[in-house]
Structures are given as C-alpha cells and as structure tokens.
A and B are shown apart, each in its own frame.
Chain A
Amino acid sequence: MFSTGSKYFFGITFLGAIAFAIYMLLIGESAIGGTALFGLVGATGLLTGLVLFTRDGSQGEEGIAASTAAPTSSIWPLIAAVGATLLLVGTITSSVVTLLGVVLLLAALVEWSVLSWSERASSDSSYNASLRKRLLNPIEFPVLAAVGLGVVILSFSRITLAVNKSVGAIAFIVLGSLVLAAGVLFSVRPNLRRGLVTGICVLGAVGIVAAGIASAGAGVREELVLAKEEGHYMHQECGAEKSEHFDKLPLEGVSATSSVDTHIDLIDGKLVASVQGIAGNQETITVPRSNPTNIVFRNKSEGEYRLVASLGSKMLTDGVKEDVVQCTQLIPQGSEQLLTLNIPKPAEAGKPFTLTVPGLAGQSIEVIVP
C-alpha cells in the first residue's frame, strides 16, 4: 500500500504532528513555533500524498501520455514555493503578506496546472504552447495590464503626495497632456515602428515608477504630516492650533463626509443649520443618542472661525465633572470642517447642548438629544 518514498514522508508527517500536538499542549503560547510545526506537517503531508499518488514516480504503461517529451523549464514551481513561504510567514507577521502568498499560490496553481496539462496534450510542442496561450492569455493580459496600471498609478500618487500641491497639479496636467499627445501620435501615424511605440511606453512607465520610488523614499510633504499629526481632518480639540496646515475640505473622512446629517453655515456672521431631508434653515437640530452624527461646518464669513459643540459635562470621579467640548479647526472663509458628534445621554434640564462660534455673540444652534 505504502510506496518506499511515501513511508519516509509519512514518518516525518506523523512525528511532526505529534511534536505539534505536544508543543501546543505544553508551550502553546507561541504562535511562531506552532506555525512552523504545522507548516512542516502540512508540507510533508502534501509530499506524502504526492509520492503516494505517483507511486514514487514509477509509471505503468497506462500512465504514458500523448507526449513523452520532458517538461519544459518553468518558473511557476519557484513562484509556488515563494507563495507558500509567504503564506506561512504571513500567519505570524501580517495579513498583507498572507494575502500576497495566497495570490501567488493561486496564480502558480493555475499557471502550472495548465502548463503541465498542455505539455501533455499532444506530441507537437508548438501546438501545446498555442493551447496554453489560448486558455491563459485572456486571463494573463488583463491581469498584467491591471497590475502594471496599478503600479503606475501608485507611483504617480506617491509623486503628488511628495511634491508641493501646485507642482502636483502641474505634473498631473503635464503627464495627462503627454499621454494625450502620445495617443494622438500613435493614432495619426499607424505605421510607426512597433519597437518605437513600445520604447516610448516603457520609457514613460519606467520614468514614472522610478520617480514614484524616489518620492516614496522622500516621504509625503510636510504640511500633510503636520495635518495628520494634529488630526485636522476630524479636528476634535479646542486648544490653540499646532500649525496652519489643515485640509480645507474634509476629504480624509470620505465615508463620513458622504453621509453628512447637518450643515452648519456661518453666513455673514449668522449661524444657520440645514438638515438633510428638512427644508429651510433650522434653529435646532435633533441628534439620536449614542449614534455618530456627522456635521460639517462651513465658514462663509470673512475671518477665521471654528464651531464649538458644548455637550454638557461628564463625571470623572466622584464629585469631579469635566465639560465635554468638541471643536473644529479654526478655518478661513471658504473652508469647511467635519465634526462627528456621539452623545450618549440627553442634556440636563436648563443646560442645553449647543453649537456656537466663539467671537459671535447671540449665534447658537441648540442640539436636542431625545
């Protein structure tokens, strides 16, 4: 039943499984050791199965395929090995590594299987190669194109994050114009040499990728770093600003800003609220308790202002209370900032929650929490 080779691998698998069980029972806290032993058991178990399946590589007459030619050299076994390694390493490092391992393993599995099958389809190697192409090229080309495009886009995004805002916009315009010009050239001169077209495309792509790598090495521009450190995208602090850099539009919280419940506008020194679904300006807004509610403050008056949400007080320790206050960034005219309110309890009688703008007397929006 067991072939000679399979006994060897089966033995390692069996001993590995026992070692794994003992390890998990006695030392089970460390994921690294457990993963290593489990990996060993999995790998040798797979080899046991393979060796058993192929009966140590001996073939009967019925096993002879249409082609008896030796298989061509292939990179896929190597990629499969790398994928399996990344899969194991990923379980103890990062899920991204695991994902990469899974992708490589799947790609290798498909490519290697089809390659192996096509090489045994007939005794004509060119026909076999065409068979493989016919099956896999419709998958390979779009995937490779998507990956290539993704690398170029990622590289370009690194460039725009590293350089000055204005330079980034100019770079985008220049690059777009170059792509357009190249496209026009290729279409009006269809007889251009293929090598020239390929050369232009490759040169452009390599240039962008190289610049992207250099930009990634240099890091993002300083104002973005500062803005992130201070949390200006969803500014909740009410003290002095640490820097003048902030996101003029609250673009960071894409999800939050796509679901704004209320806009609070400061128009010519007057504070007004407009609530989604309710026509006209409101003097009060109703916020459900214990539910994040997104409010965008838009400064449409001259000067710098911030919106302050005064949300009562909370008990720190017995008898010690602290005011609950949330603020937007101090923003100039034409800017807007997001504020997310999550209020767990209604206001105490006579102490309503309010939205106000420091420096503007008499301008207040009441926040009602039922």
Chain B
Amino acid sequence: MRRRVVGAVSGIAGAMFLAGCATNAPQDTWQPKGPNAQIIDDLQKPVFAVAGIIGVIVTVAVLVAVFKFRDKGQPIPHQSHGNPALEITLTIIPALILTVVGVFTFRTVFDLAKTSDTEMIINVTGQQWWWEYDYPVQSEYGITQPIITSGQLVIPAGTKVLLRQTSRDVIHSYWIPALNGKRDAVPGRVHLNRIEADKPGIYAGQCTEFCGLSHANMRMEAVALSKADFAKWVANQLKPYTPPAENTLAKEGETVFMNQCVRCHQVNGMKRADGTPVIAAPDENIVSGAAPNLSHLMSRNTFAGATFDLLNKSCREDVWTADSESFGAKYLSGVSEDCLNQKDLRGWLRNAPAMKPMYANPALLTSTGGKYRGMPNLGLTEADIEKLVAYLLTLK
C-alpha cells in the first residue's frame, strides 16, 4: 500500500515537473517574445536561481537536522541562548541578498513603467467576460477614425504600444505572458501597460483577476503584424459598411440582426431602411453597458471574448503555426465560409449561456435590475441562425 502511494505521488510529481518542459505552451512565462517580457525574464531567471539554491540549502539542512538529531533516547544536549555573531551573520546575509534582488527589481519596475517612448496608443476596456480595444485617431498609422474591436488585440510588431487599461464593471487583469507582466484593469481608473512584440505572430493571454462566473473563459490574444500588414489591417477596419446584396440569405440575416442583435451589438455604418443609422443600446440591456462591436467580425479569428475560435481547427492551425513571413497574409485573409467554425458559432447563436457560463437567466437577474451579464439565450430559430451566419460571414 505504502509503495503504491509513494509511486503515485512520485508519478504525479514527475508529470508536473516534466510539464514545465513543454515547448508549445502559449502562455509560458519563460518564453518572452518582446522586450518588456524579456526585461522580466532577465530578472526572474537569476532570482529564481538564487531562490532555488537557497531553497535547496534550507531543505537539505532541515532534513539533515531531522534525521541526524532525531530522538534516539540520547540525553538532551547543552542548551545555549543567543549567539550574537551567528545571529548578525544570519541577518546580514539574507538582507544583502534581498537588497541586491530589490535593486534589480526596482530597476525592472521603473523600466516597465516607462511611457515616454510610446509609439502607439490603444485603449483597453475589460468587462465580464471580454476585452474591448479601441484605437484613437493616430494618423501616422493610417488610423484616421477610431477603430473598435474585441477579442484580438492587433498591433504592429516592433512597435512600443501603450495600453490604457480600464474596466466597466469589476476588476480584471490583462496578461499576455509573452509580451509583458500582468496589469489590473480597475473601474474608474486608467492603468498603463506597455507591450511590444518582436515578431509577427499570435500571443495568447488570460484574465488573471477573478472576475466572476466565466473568469476562466476571459481570454485574449495579441496579434502582431508587420508594419505593412498592420497598415492593411487598419485600411480594412476603416472600410465603410457594405450591406449584403438584395434577395440573399445574408440580407435576410441582416434583418434578423437588426431585430435582435443591435439591441447590444454595434456594426458601424449599418443603416435602417429609412436611412437612419443603427445605434446599439447595450447600456439599456447589459450591466457593463457594452457588448462587442461586430464591425469586421470576420477579420478576427475568435469570438465570445476569445473563448471560441471563428476558424475551424485546420485553418486555425494553419494561422497559428505560420512562420513570421507568411503569418500576416494568412491572418489578414480572415474567415472564409470554408474555414468558419460553424459548430461553435451556431451553438453560440442557439444558446450562448450553455456554451459559456454567464449570469444570463432573467429569473436570477434581480440584483442587476434585469440587465444581463453576458449574452442571453435569444431563442432564435434554426432558420434565423442560418440567416445570421450567412450575414456575419459578410462582415469582413
């Protein structure tokens, strides 16, 4: 029995130890992909080494003391009280170690807080359970009108990007380990977080402040593009809205969208039949007062707070594993009908709360004044879902 327990514990410990060697872990804190994460890595590796050595020394000393001096019936040894030389030494050595670590830590903290060399600004707003990104006008990047998107943060590689983070409801925390450390997003406050990616690619992240039922599903992805590809992405985001052609399934989907979805979701440039602009009113329906802006939805690879992929498995693999040179073109090709993850998108439209835990049961909404947290089940028919999928595919 004892041998089995020891075997099981050793097996679990071994598996956990070996799991640390995984090379394809997208949220590995030991694989920096940008200068800010590199600064942290340069600090944490030596500190980890020092802490590890001290940990081993202390553990060995304790084990030696426990086994060598265990009670074997020997007389109690001479008891002494106080040894100034030893006590001073044992105080000074840790103090010196902590001082050295502290100096480098402070330097790192100040280096990471630097914003004077910012090259690009993006406002990041967290809410239960997704991230909104809005790009203020920055003509040097071709952003002549504000761009608003969600789920995937698109940045130019090799550019110092300053994220101005806040939250609409509860405290969240923005963390893309490959690009920088975590930074809280607090309601009513703006916190600054600088990121920069060395090369084009997708970098995964996760909200790291418990924020409610679907905290574990509140993911984010930073997509770094070459400067030329980023310019193409900006140009696409600024393209005016093109309504679907008349007498198509997509056109019928647009009508369903106007009847159901625009209560919360904005599509920039969409107009009613009488020419009046369609303005969503998430403030009237959702606790946070916002829902993802779905303009150019199919230029993203994810939906529902980056919880689900818009690309099916093979197309997703194709993008994620692309090398730096070909990545931009693959990402910018967006989501075609062949690549669309129909199963998850249809499932989401059919019954969103069944796919992602949300406080979406109206019977349990008394504390929110009847407003939703997350997307409710709209009770759409299969025919409506068919039309909506066709329409959403036009939002390139």
Contacts and interface: CB of A to CB of B under 8 A. Distances in A.
Interface of A: 255-256, 258-259, 261, 276-279, 284, 286, 288-292, 294, 344-346, 348-349, 368, 370
22 contacts: A259-B186, A277-B115, A277-B118, A278-B162, A279-B115, A279-B118, A286-B123, A288-B123, A288-B132, A288-B134, A288-B168, A290-B288, A290-B290, A291-B125, A291-B187, A291-B289, A292-B187, A345-B280, A345-B283, A348-B279, A368-B137, A370-B148
Contacts of A345: 279-281, 283
* Closest CB pairs A-B (n = 4): A290-B289, A344-B283, A259-B189, A370-B148
Contacts of B147: 370
Contacts of A256: 188
A277 B190 contact: yes
Contacts of A289: 283, 289-290
Contacts of B283: 289-290, 344-345
Contacts of A294: 188
B116 interface: yes
Main secondary structure of the interface of B (DSSP, over half): loop
A278 B289 CA distance: 26
A286 B125 contact: no
B243 interface: no
Contacts of B190: 259, 261, 276-277
A291 B168 contact: yes
B260 to A, nearest CB: 19
Given A284-B137, A344-B281, A345-B279, A276 B164 contact: yes
A84 to B, nearest CB: 32
B192 A348 contact: no
A339 to B, nearest CB: 14
Contacts of B166: 288, 291
B121 A290 contact: no
Given A261-B190, A278-B162, A288-B125, 20 more contacts: A255-B188, A259-B190, A276-B190, A277-B118, A278-B118, A286-B136, A286-B146, A288-B166, A288-B168, A290-B289, A291-B166, A291-B187, A294-B188, A344-B289, A346-B266, A348-B277, A349-B277, A368-B136, A368-B146, A370-B147
Of B136, B187, B280, B282, chain A has the most CB atoms within 10 Å of the CB of B136
Contacts of B277: 348-349
A124 B266 CA distance: 82
Contact of B162 (A258, A277, A370): A277
Of B162, B168, B187, B189, chain A has the most CB atoms within 10 Å of the CB of B189
Contacts of B132: 288
Contacts of B168: 288, 290-291
Main secondary structure of the interface of A (DSSP, over half): loop
Contacts of B284: 344
Interface in B164-209: 164, 166, 168, 186-190, 192
A212 to B, nearest CB: 34
Interface of B: 115-116, 118, 121, 123, 125, 132, 134, 136-137, 146-148, 162, 164, 166, 168, 186-190, 192, 266, 277, 279-284, 288-290, 293
A195 to B, nearest CB: 40
A344 B132 CA distance: 15
Nearest to A366: B137
B134 A286 contact: yes
A255 B134 CA distance: 25
B121 A277 contact: yes
A340 to B, nearest CB: 9
A244 to B, nearest CB: 30
Contacts of A344: 281, 283-284, 289
A278 B115 CA distance: 8
Contact of A346 (B115, B187, B189, B279): B279
B188 A292 contact: yes
Contacts of A348: 277, 279
B289 to A, nearest CB: 3
A349 to B, nearest CB: 7
A368 B288 CA distance: 19
Of B118, B288, B289, B293, chain A has the most CB atoms within 10 Å of the CB of B289
Contacts of A368: 136-137, 146
Nearest to A285: B136
Contacts of A259: 186, 188-190
A264 B188 CA distance: 18
A256 B164 CA distance: 17
A279 B282 CA distance: 32
A238 B319 CA distance: 54
Nearest to B279: A345
Contacts of B137: 284, 286, 368
Contacts of B123: 286, 288
Contacts of B146: 286, 368, 370
A261 B134 CA distance: 15
A279 B116 contact: yes
A370 B266 CA distance: 10
A276 B165 CA distance: 11
A41 B115 CA distance: 63
